[in-house]
Chain A
Amino acid sequence: MNRGEPTWERNDYSKVPYRLYHDPEIYRLEQERVFRGPAWTVLGLEAEIPRPGDYRIAFAGDLPIVFNRGNDGRINAFVNRCAHRGAEIVREPYGNVKDFTCIYHSWCYSPGGDLIGVPFMRGVKGKGGMPADFRMQDNGLRKLRVESFNGLIFGTFRDDTEPLEQYLGALLVENVGEILGRPIRLLGYQRQRIHANWKMYLENVRDAYHASLLHEFNRTFGLSRLTQTSGGYMDDRHRHAMLFQYKGSDSEEAARKTYTDGQVQRGDYMTLKDESLVAAIRENRTGVSTRIISIFPNAVVHQIANCLGLRRVRTRGPGELEIEFVLFGYQDDDAAMTAHRIYQANMVGPAGLISMEDGEALERVQRATSPDPSGAGIIEMGGKGPLLNLDTRVNEIPVRGFWSYYSELMGLEPDGAQR
């Protein structure tokens, strides 16, 4: 990246060089400095591994991580790579086991990642075997430090990563804490693979401006309109963000006039035969109807009306990402509420009525910026300069917040950088 020119044209990240999406060297550095750096990566939910022995595969960037619940109930995480010859140990995406045995030479590991078995370590009939100085305790798997916040599991490779709640900050502790404040029940998975750089998606979920323009469904059914009480807030370090919305805080007429005057309304609003698709049954203190909460670097916790979910992002090289939506409700939901949440899951995922467009938009950016990645995108909605929380969604400042913390970790900060 350092080829005699500074990465950033401006110190407030309001112009993003397209090169950052496409340069393979940048991608390699991200894996090292972001996903294996001093940040907490979201691995999953405790509800995904409820019983001792349960495990599931997650990803720190593109590195496969096994997170599991040990026989003692503790949560562990390790890189899915045998200490011996580097084979993948776990071959199923989830399961329940007592220990983890590599198929190649049957080396066996505890749920905590310690090496507990090497077949024929002392040879056979006095011949062969490992040298006398080979010690199993020195040859465990590469472990992550794990912490859990209200059932959301995080992992980090570094000892110096700050304490988890400090990393999350008050905004996320309050809002993620509230959404995950009751025992949850898993409702299912949805997966989407997008041929675009992973950062475009992490920008997208911080981009308050696009929600009612790209996603016409939002505008039409009043789930998210720029005329509503809404905003984009960040934590004090501006690395995470929450876009929020209060459905019903504007009038249909005012909204229609605003969007018609803004030349984005294409005809009359349509109506639904079954309005429950967009009905928000109040279940939180403030009555907020949409919260898209981005957790740096790789996750989102969302509430869209009564559709609740976690999104994990996996990087697959500079030009591809995968989103895994984990939808959930609460254990004390009645049958009608569960059915309502299942129905509202139509709004998210690869066929989501307010998310399918993201796949198309991001791939268009990828395709158009990759052949000649000189030049830069503009992020000036909501203003330039300081990174501020605004009570409006005509606002892209949280996207600049993402780049600010990203650049700090990557060692790419310009002189006098906004933080």
Chain B
Amino acid sequence: MRVDPNVKQRVESLIVDSAMYIDRDELDAWIDCFEPDARYIVLPRENRLLDLPVGIIHCENRARLEDRIVCLRHANKYNPHFDRHIVSLPRILAVAGGVASVETNFMVVQTDKTGESRLFCAGVYEDRIRLDGDDAKFVERIAVIDTFTVPTLMATPV
């Protein structure tokens, strides 16, 4: 479909910025990419195929996402690592009512503290993005992961 270049630019910025915030461990900035009522779900592809609702991470609103990040910062212990998100160009499927529906492929390469890198996760972001003035924020992000047998653990969101 033909997309207004301005919409395209705002969608691309949100997707690239949000990925970079995770890689830079700026999770507060990452959370600011979401509307208060936004859902964030990491969904195994097998559950999508079976029409089953459980996610690896499943937050129905931003407050719940904030709770997960607080736990990550203060309670959880996990494998020390760096993340590197590689995202494709977004494919804008529709824009209606100020909300863009977008699909973007992604890979996350994880590097441990000895400098060894491995592909951690491959999948597709299924996003609904609210466009408001110059602003763009997620109202829904479902990261459908092909790599649903998760190596070791998933602490940082993808």
A, B bound? yes
Q: Which A residues fall within an 8 A CB radius of B?
A: 93-94, 186-195, 214, 216-217, 220, 267, 270, 272-274, 277, 322, 327, 338-339, 342-343, 345-346, 349-351, 353, 356-357, 359-360, 363
Cα separation A188 to B66 with both chains bound (whole Å):
24
Q: Is the Cβ of A273 less than 8 Å from the Cβ of B66?
A: yes
- Return the contact of A343 from the options B42, B60, B79 (Cβ within 8 A): B60
Task: From known contacts A192-B153, A343-B60, infer whether A187 and B79 are also in contact, taking CB-CB under 8 Å.
Answer: no
| Contacting residues, chain B, for A353 (C-beta < 8 A) | 68, 71, 75-76
13 new A-B contacts, CB < 8 A, other than A189-B44, A190-B54, are: A94-B50, A189-B50, A190-B44, A190-B56, A193-B150, A272-B67, A274-B63, A342-B53, A345-B54, A351-B57, A356-B76, A359-B152, A360-B79
A261 vs B71: C-alpha distance in the bound complex, in angstroms? 23
B74 and A270 contact, CB distance less than 8 A: yes
In the complex, what residues of A have CB within 8 A of residue B119's CB? none
Q: For residue B61, which residue of chain A has the nearest CB?
A: A274
Asked if B97 lies at the interface with its beta carbon under 8 angstroms from chain A, I say no
Question: How far apart are A60's CB and chain B's nearest CB, in angstroms?
Answer: 19
| Contact A191 B153, beta carbon cutoff 8 Å | no
| Complex contact A363–B79 (CB within 8 A) | yes
Q: Tell whether B29 is near chain A: CB-to-CB under 8 Å.
A: no
Interchain CB contact under 8 A, A342 and B78: no
The interface residues of chain A lying within 8 Å CB-to-CB of B64 are 273-274, 277, 343
Chain B min CB distance to A256 (Å): 15
B67 — which chain A residues lie within 8 A by C-beta?
272-274, 277
Residue pair A191, B68 in contact (C-beta under 8 Å): no
Once the chains are docked, how many angstroms separate the CA of A322 from the CA of B149? 8
Q: A188-B44, A193-B152, A277-B64 are in contact. Are A360 and B77 (CB under 8 A)?
A: yes
Contact (Cβ within 8 A) A346 B57: yes
A359–B76 alpha-carbon span in the complex (Å): 12
Query: Complex formed: what's the CA distance from A327 to B50 in Å?
Result: 13
A195 touches B53 (CB 8 A): no
Q: Establish whether residues B154 and A351, one from each chain, have CB atoms under 8 Å apart when the complex forms.
A: yes
Given contacts A187-B53, A357-B78, contact A343 B151 (CB under 8 A): no
A93 to B76 alpha-carbon distance, docked (Å): 32
Q: Is the CB of B53 within 8 A of A192?
A: no
CA distance A277 to B149 in the complex (A): 24
Given the known interface contacts A353-B75, A356-B154, A360-B79, the answer about A342 and B54 at a Cβ–Cβ threshold of 8 Å is yes
Q: Determine the chain A residues whose CB is within 8 A of the CB of B148 once the complex forms.
A: 189, 191
